[in-house]
Amino acid sequence: MQHFITIVVPEPSELRTIHYYHHLARATVELRHKDGSRISRRDIPFWMADQLFDENVRFVHGDGTPFFVSDTAIDDVFNNDGSFRWLSDLMAFAERPPRQAPQARLVPRLTLLALAFWVAHPEIAEGFATYECFNQPQCGHWSWDFFERCETCPFAKG
C-alpha cells in the first residue's frame, strides 16, 4: 500500500503578502544541488518539476478538493519564457523585501514554487507565512517607515 503525503495549497491571499514573497525569495536563493552548489534560475524549474510530480504527493485546496498540476504547468505559469528571468527578479527580493505585495498575476507562479518547497523542504515552507518586522535598525530587519512594527519592538507605539 502506497503512502501519500497531502499538501494543502496556500491561499492566494497568503501568497500575496510581502512576508510570504520575501521568505519565498530567501528560500529560493538558498536552493542547492546535492554537491552544495547553488541552483541557477534556469535549473529551478527542473527542481520544481522533480518536486511537483513526485508520485507520493497529493495537493489539495483548503476545502479538500484536489489541486491538479498539469504536465505543462511550469511552462504555462512562466508564459513559456525559457529564460525564467522572473526568478532572478524574485531572488532580488531575498536581500531586501519588496515595497508592495506581489500582483495577482503572479499567484500561479508563487503557488507552484511554494508547493515545490512544501514537498522538498516543509520545515522551510512552514515559515513562509510568518510575520516579520521590516523596521531596522530597531528590530534588526528592514527600514521602511510604512511597515508596522512587530510586537517585541521597543520602539513600537503602544
Is residue 150 situated within a structural domain? no
Domain extent for 117: 5-125
Is residue 102 situated within a structural domain? yes
Q: Is the pLDDT confidence value at 136 over 80? A: no
- In this structure, what C-alpha cell is assigned to residue 76? 504555462
Is residue 133 situated within a structural domain? no
Is residue 144 situated within a structural domain? no
SS3 label, residue 7: strand
Q: How does pLDDT run across 4-49, given as a tens digit for each residue?
A: 899 999 999 999 999 899 999 999 999 999 999 999 999 999 999 9
Q: Is the pLDDT confidence value at 155 over 60? A: no
- Which pLDDT belongs to residue 143? 40
- Which pLDDT belongs to residue 140? 46
Is residue 87 situated within a structural domain? yes
Total domains, the chain = 1
- In this structure, what C-alpha cell is assigned to residue 133? 518586522
Is residue 71 situated within a structural domain? yes
Q: Report how far residue 47's alpha carbon sits from residue 39's, in angstroms, rounded to the nearest whole number.
A: 8
Q: Is the pLDDT confidence value at 145 over 50? A: no
Question: Average model confidence (pLDDT) for the chain?
Answer: 85
Bigger pLDDT: 97 vs 60: 60
Tell me the mean pLDDT in the region 51-75. 96
Q: How does pLDDT run across 80-109, given as a tens digit for each residue?
A: 777 788 999 999 998 888 889 999 999 999
From 25-39, 45-59, 138-152, the region with the lowest mean pLDDT: 138-152
Tell me the mean pLDDT in the region 106-118. 97
Is residue 89 situated within a structural domain? yes
Distance between alpha carbon 59 and the CA centroid of its chain, in Å? 16
Closest CA to 128 of 5, 48, 49, 28: 28
Phi, psi of 60 (to 5 degrees): -135, 155
